[in-house]
Amino acid sequence: MAPAEILSGKIVSAQVRERLKQQVVEMKEKFPGFRPGLAILQVGNRDDSNLYINMKLKAAAEIGISANHIKLPNTATEADVLKCIASLNGDPAVHGFIVQLPLDSDKPINTEKITNAVAPEKDVDGLSSINAGKLSRGDLGDCFIPCTPKGCMELIRQTGIQVAGKRAVVVGRSKIVGAPMHDLLLWNHATVTTCHSKTSTLAEEVGKADILVVAAGKAEMVKGEWIKPGAIVIDCGINHVPDSTKASGKRVVGDVAYSTAKEKASYITPVPGGVGPMTVAMLMQSTVESAQRFLEKFQPGKWNIQYNQLTLKMPVPSDIEISQSYIPKPIDQVAREVGLLPDEVELYGQTKAKVHLSALKRLKNQPDGKYIVVTGITPTPLGEGKSTTTVGLVQALGAHLHQNVFACVRQPSQGPTFGIKGGAAGGGYCQVIPMEEFNLHLTGDIHAITAANNLVAAAVDARMFHELTQTDQALYNRLVPSDSGVRKFSDIQIRRLQKLGINKTDPMALTKEEVTLFVRLDIDPGTITWQRVLDTNDRFLRKITIGQSLTEKGFSRTAQFDITVSSEIMAVLALSDGLDDMKKRLGRMVVASNKKGEPVTTDDLGVTGALAVLMKDAIKPNLMQTLEGTPVFVHAGPFANIAHGNSSVLADKIALKLVGKDGFVVTEAGFGADIGMEKFFNIKCRYSGLRPHVVVLVATVRALKMHGGGPTVTAGVPLPKEYMEEDLQLLAKGCSNLNKQIQNARMFGVPVVVAVNAFKTDTKAEMALVVQQAKEAGAFDAVVCTHWAEGGKGAVALAQAVQRASQTPSNFRFLYDVKLPVIDKIRIIAQQIYGARDIELLPEAQEKVALYTKQGFGNLPICMAKTHLSLSHDPEQKGAPTGFILPIRDIRASVGAGFLYPLVGTMSTMPGLPTRPCFYDIDLDPVSGAVNGLF
């Protein structure tokens, strides 16, 4: 018969590499910025290992794989190696990971323990027990196969001969080649016999083989005459035998006697140049396959998410009864379902987690989803269900329409939870769960803000005290102390010197005048705007005197406590887009003016770095879920009057990447559209760079009746009969507020969908009238919703309307140019959003306009602080009043957050407790640990 055809590993491996190169190019085109990553961990410095690693690095570079060679010294211990493996296992940029064997260490290391420590999904060498086990039971699509057997199979496929039904013989039983080769042939439907050097009938068994794979490690052990005519022969051996004709005195041969075997085989691999080149090519192929699996699992696409089925009850039970009757999915499961990596998630128990900002960096090149903001008409004191509608909408989009969807909501203060309003997790069958976790401590973000805020307050008073009681030189000696005769400025002190125009870094080089400038902040006590905070409603802290102890030497002043969520640090958290940005904003916060009228900042106080440390965990969004199992980010909760009333920019940005281009992110803006929505557009979107696609405007029949002239609505008091009976005339009159708020939303160029939040007392005629009025006012659509009683099912029509609206053009635009004078920006908001004829600045406000413009803050956006109970400044004026003059009592600056906030009337920043607070009903079951009485 004709001599065997040569199976050249060089040729086949070159073809494989070219194919892989093209696959990597396609990956990069589909996922810009992405590269498959391979890590090679080496212990010691063996020459042969260095040679093999260089071959792998070269192949990776040629294909476009990002390869990283990590080299530990030969003094590395087993613990050192395991620590390095753990780090690489958690690195999302590493998709393939091999440990170069043998381990060249002078310390005892268990090789099997090391190979099994490699994460199975990254074990592209296929050496871990898990991958070996999967291969042995035939799970070929869910494991990695050792590179040499995988290369042998690729060479066998090159022959075009079917493996199924053939008799195969494997000579050798090592874990790296023989044993996996047996399994691979078996699960490709060959009848397989494994032999080894001790097999007594080896020649006889070899003679039966249609496919022969030899990996015994013995030079030319298999003779040519043993081979069955026409067999495929794959020789994995590399052996050195003496050869006086070679300069080295030796030559390389395989485990098969090549010269005689090629006369009987139909196909044969040479040595060298056969299986060897395939091993590296298969390592590269496994790395690319691992990267593809990674992209399928963790890149935005259609989520594989488990939704919870609701069992609806009538009448609807209390919120906490509903919340506690459903077992949330483990939060790490929710994280996996939405495409977050394990090392991007920091678990806080079973039901909540923080998400690292590295997720945003990983997903930065992915397209954003559709951005939806939920707002409302001017509400009654009872609220009109924006939070409930937000949750209902995401449950409908996710659990019922099977869209990728995230809710992004604010974290509530504990003040209202124990005061009169109760919690803010939604209600009925549309809640964030567990609602007691949501409404109480969550992950401690508000406590971090309290600590950071009060550190600033302490620093202000301490600095004034020390400046009043010490000379310039004494201050300098303490601010820049000598350590072993050496003085050194801290980084933040260098920044202060530069701000003062002192370009020196040697503490000994400052002149006496420069020392005075440096040590004296010279704060004017009458200009201090920074107050202490507490996350509890406590009316007796609204005005206090501090510094009454004898140790303060008579330096007392009048001050106050605010509730924590009113702190500027909360607004900074909500508007920051990363750690660096947050740190800069924290440093820019103005706490007072000096006696020259210049702003004094937290950076001047030297406290910026400490604030960043206190806030380093708070900046990570909190992951929770709804009753129906859709994901929720709960992050930041700034006031909606003296601040902008929206959840964090970071939560929105991460969510928009996770849902992918066809998904939805639904966020909520505080109070009515004239307040929360206007600030969402003009402040939050201005800083985030995000552009909304749809406004969902929540309206209720009862609120519209109030705007039509209905009786006063008071929290805790039964509704008057006008709200319980049909009255179309009263309702139609009140729709003026709905029409104005639709007009306000459309002013920003965004389509509006009205959600009519239905109550059991509403009649069909009343709801139909609201729908009709909304459409006539220019809403894209208006839909009656029953989600409070029915969960996502009751908001499906709303979700479908939002989907349709999101496909229409959004010509988003800001209401004003920030470069306009402060007064002009205030006037534009008052006239266009509120309906005012003009504005009137009281003397204090006029002074602040001049001061902030002089201080360089005139180009900040405007955050109006006014009542949420009317479009005007008067909470008693309902409907859509016009022609009024809007009085501006004062203007204050949140320079770190990045806005000026004019005060329209008096704003309480510390609520009080009512006669009967919510805490009367809140209790803990000492047996079950369950929280009772929250609502």
Alpha helices by DSSP H, 396-490: 414-418, 435-439, 445-469, 472-479
- Our answer to whether residue 421 is catalytic in this structure is no
Task: Please tell me the distance from the alpha carbon of residue 560 to that of residue 13, in angstroms, as a whole number.
Answer: 75
The amino acid at 115: T
Distance CA 874, CA 870 (A): 6
Give the up-direction half-sphere exposure of residue 83: CA atoms within 13 A in the CB hemisphere: 6
Kindly provide the residue ranges of all beta strands, DSSP E only, lying in 482-587, ordered along the sequence. Answer: 482-483, 486-487, 532-534, 544-546, 557-559, 561-563
Q: What is the rounded distance in angstroms from the CA atom of residue 4 to the CA atom of residue 264?
A: 7
- Two tokens, residue 566: 């009113």
What gap in Å lies between CA 410 and CA 412, rounded to an integer? Answer: 6
Q: In this structure, what token pair is assigned to residue 308?
A: 């919870």
**Residue of 56, 262, 684, 878 marked catalytic:** 56
Query: Residue 110 in 3-state DSSP?
Result: coil
Q: Which residues contact 48 (CB under 8 A, 6 or more apart)?
A: none
Residue partners of 35: CB distance under 8 A and separation at least 6 = 24, 27, 28, 64, 65, 66
Task: Give the up-direction half-sphere exposure of residue 126: CA atoms within 13 A in the CB hemisphere.
Answer: 34
**Is-contact 650 578, C-beta < 8 A?**
yes
Contact 531, 562 (CB under 8 A): yes
Q: Sign of the C-alpha dihedral, residues 698, 700, 703, 707?
A: positive
The answer to whether 561 and 534 have CB atoms below 8 angstroms apart is yes
| β-strand partners of 784 | 756
Report which secondary-structure segment, H or E, holds 185: helix 178-187
User: Whole-angstrom distance between the N-terminal and C-terminal Cα of the chain?
Assistant: 88
Distance CA 511, CA 517 (A): 10
Are 568 and 897 within 8 A, CB to CB?
yes
Q: For residue 745, what are its two tokens?
A: 């939303």
Residues 6+ apart with CB under 8 A from 580: none
CA distance 534 to 447: 9
Pairing between strand 232-235 and 211-214?
Answer: parallel
- Helical (H) or strand (E) element with 39: strand 37-43
Whole-angstrom Cα distance, residue 530 to residue 605? Answer: 13
Rounded CA separation 263/230 (Å): 9
What is the set of active-site residues?
56
